[in-house]
Amino acid sequence: MFNAMDKESISKAIQEAVSYIQSKTTLKPAIGLILGSGLGMLAEQIEDATRIPFEDIPNFPKPTIAGHSGNLIIGKISGKNIAVMQGRVHYYEGYDTGTITFPVRVLAKLGIETLILTNACGGVSKHFSPGELMVIEDHLSFFCPSPLRGANLDEFGERFIDMSKAYTPDLVELAVKTAKSLGIKLQKGVYGYWQGPTYETAAEIRAFITLGADVVGMSTVPEAIVARHCGLKTMGISCITNMACIYTTDGTNHEEVIEMGKRVAGDFIKLLRAIMSAL
């Protein structure tokens, strides 16, 4: 687990992963994209693609959850060199947050300058509906053990990192402008992090509402924190797959999340491609 390792060991592990990936492709990605639950199909549209299973990359964590294929794909979309993570790992799978965010550091070392994070999430704001997309303006990380805990990796960033602009404002506005030009409804809001794997209780959702969250999910925040530490421009876009339990009597299940993600994928992919083209 990376949070408990010394920085020399972590740096060595990162470089081993970077060297392996570079041995498989000469393409230098400028944009990184992490695909959440049900969104992996965008990876099929990558041109000149080199597909590398996570399990082949030294020190890379492996997903255990349905909807996360576990491939790193390097190629081109909309004429831009990109590195796409087809799936991710989560804290609830037993990994610490240093391990969860290890791939972000690898992407930074590969040379990306912009990281786009996507996820499936539950709607907390009563003004949202399943099937809508939301660009993340800010997040609540109270339930997220810090991925920066432990030895500071000085080669990436300083010990104490300002998080007042965790999601790059210019990229938020780019997402809004792009969605409007495509006729796609795009909400703006605050993402609340939840450790999982349980979905939230009604009392917990009411607490999130009081704290200011518009959606809630089990990913993205650790990656955004490390992206900020690495000095990357960062955008987050959520697919609202269901409403939180206070709005329904049917409960929530993972199959529902995956199915809605697939249903919305057309607009989501169209939006992501247009954003990457504009970067």
Strand partners of residue 118? 237
Of 169, 174, 151, 190, which Cα lies nearest the Cα of 233? 169
In the set 16, 254, 256, 259, the catalytic residue is 254
Does the annotation mark 59 as catalytic?
Answer: no
In the set 17, 120, 179, 260, the catalytic residue is 120
In the set 219, 229, 274, 276, the catalytic residue is 219
In the set 85, 93, 132, 141, the catalytic residue is 93
- CA–CA gap between residue 152 and residue 55 (Å, rounded): 27
Strand partners of residue 116? 33, 235
Does the annotation mark 9 as catalytic?
Answer: no
Does the annotation mark 120 as catalytic?
Answer: yes
The distance from CA 279 to its chain's CA centroid, rounded to whole angstroms, is 18
In the set 3, 11, 17, 37, the catalytic residue is 37
- CA–CA gap between residue 7 and residue 9 (Å, rounded): 5
Does the annotation mark 83 as catalytic?
Answer: no
Does the annotation mark 92 as catalytic?
Answer: yes
In the set 13, 49, 68, 235, the catalytic residue is 68
Does the annotation mark 93 as catalytic?
Answer: yes
Q: Is the peptide bond before 58 cis (omega within 30 degrees of 0)?
A: no
In sequence order, the 6+-apart residues with CB closer than 8 A to the CB of 144 are 91, 97, 193, 195, 221, 222, 225
Does the annotation mark 95 as catalytic?
Answer: no
Amino acid, single-letter form, for residue 125: S
In the set 139, 200, 242, 243, the catalytic residue is 242
In the set 134, 151, 166, 218, the catalytic residue is 218
Q: What does 18-29 look like in DSSP terms, one character per residue?
A: HHHHHHH-----
In the set 85, 90, 139, 191, the catalytic residue is 90
In the set 92, 207, 265, 278, the catalytic residue is 92
Does the annotation mark 127 as catalytic?
Answer: no
Would you name the residues annotated as active-site residues?
37, 68, 90, 92-93, 120, 218-219, 242, 254
